[in-house]
Structure 1
Amino acid sequence: MALNEEPPYVVVWNDAVDLRHLAASIVICVAAGLPAFLGAKALFGAVVDTPSLAGGYALLAGLAACVLAAAVCARLFRPKRTFGAEQAADREAALAELERLGGTAETFAELPPRVRAEMAELGLVRETAPEVRA
């Protein structure tokens, strides 16, 4: 991979993730959770009289290990999203272009609902003009 080339991202639960980091996180969580579960199952199986209760405690121990491993992974693999002034400048440029093109609340109301919803989602609808919030 070249220095200026970005790693391939995939979208998982509406978030961009690096597949290598995702795979490493899964391995880390399994490596922490499975031994904790199996060890707790053996320990509680010997200590607790009821097998179902021992199994429940073992699941809880495995889950706790997975949560700790997830916290470690969150520290190891930082988020890939970046928000900055560039995005704000792009938004301002889009708003300026829309103002330059002209238009009124009536022309906005004539747009298809899907387009109006997308414009609102992108923040291109000014909150100061309530008549535009159609």
Structure 2
Amino acid sequence: MMPQLLEVWNDTVDPKHLIGGIAIGVGIAVPAYLISDQYFASRGDETLGHSYALLIGIVGCIIGAVITGVLFKPKRVITTSDSDTRNRQEILDEIVEEYGDLGDPRELRPAVQEEVRALGLFDALVENHEARAQEKGGEK
């Protein structure tokens, strides 16, 4: 049975793991800060000692976060669906209606064209641009 999950800061968490993670973080960071504060205070400059102790407390937080990340794996379940049956041209038409003409993708810098090709959108963008150019030509 799947445990009850919560959404915290747009992430899905198990409440028990959240409490455990907080306990680990506090259990490492607070003693690290307090012990180092005592140590540096006994060594001389108290203001500088507090600063170093705070830095060590922050390092303790990072160590606690790493330990928590290793112990408690993510609970995200990513699903994809093909429920959107519209084709790319319909979606591109909606984008053009909302944001305006996208322009000719062949005029993009080569690096950007490469990224658009990697996404599999280059041909669809060219087709959309040419169809819009023909529409504009036919209206005049």
State the TM-score bracket (shorter-chain normalisation).
Answer: 0.5 to 0.7
> Runs of 4 or more off by more than 3 Å in structure 1?
125-129
User: 1:129, CA displacement in angstroms?
Assistant: 4.5
Q: Distance in 2 between matches of 1:77 and 1:22?
A: 9
Q: Which runs of 5+ in 2 are unaligned?
A: 99-140
Superposed CA deviations along residues 50-97 of structure 1, whole A, max 9, x for unmatched, are 2111111111111101111110100100000122xxx33x2x1x223x
Report SS of the residue matched to 2:49: helix
Match of residue 66 from structure 1: 61
| TM-score, with structure 2 as normaliser | 0.62
Match of residue 110 from structure 1: none
Match of residue 131 from structure 1: 93
Cα distance, 1:16–1:42 mapped onto 2, change above 3 Å: same
2:46 is aligned, of 41, 47, 51, to 51
Equivalent position amino acid for 1:39 in 2? I
Report SS of the residue matched to 1:95: coil
Report SS of the residue matched to 2:6: strand
User: 1:32, CA displacement in angstroms?
Assistant: 0.5
Matched, 1:32 2:28: yes
What CA RMSD, in Å, does the superposition of the two structures yield over aligned residues?
Answer: 1.9
Cα distance, 1:25–1:126 mapped onto 2, change above 3 Å: same
Matched-pair contact (CA < 8 Å) for 1:38–1:58? yes
Match of residue 112 from structure 1: none
Q: Distance in 2 between matches of 1:27 and 1:58?
A: 20
Equivalent position amino acid for 1:132 in 2? E
Match of residue 8 from structure 2: 12
Matched-pair contact (CA < 8 Å) for 1:32–1:65? yes
Q: Distance in 2 between matches of 1:17 and 1:34?
A: 24
Q: Distance in 2 between matches of 1:73 and 1:66?
A: 10
Equivalent position amino acid for 1:130 in 2? L
| TM-score, with structure 1 as normaliser | 0.65
Equivalent position amino acid for 1:59 in 2? L
Aligned length: 96
Match of residue 42 from structure 1: 38
Percent identity of paired positions between Structure 1 and Structure 2 = 31
Q: Distance in 1 between matches of 2:25 and 2:58?
A: 10
User: 1:6, CA displacement in angstroms?
Assistant: 1.4
Match of residue 95 from structure 1: 84
Match of residue 77 from structure 1: 72
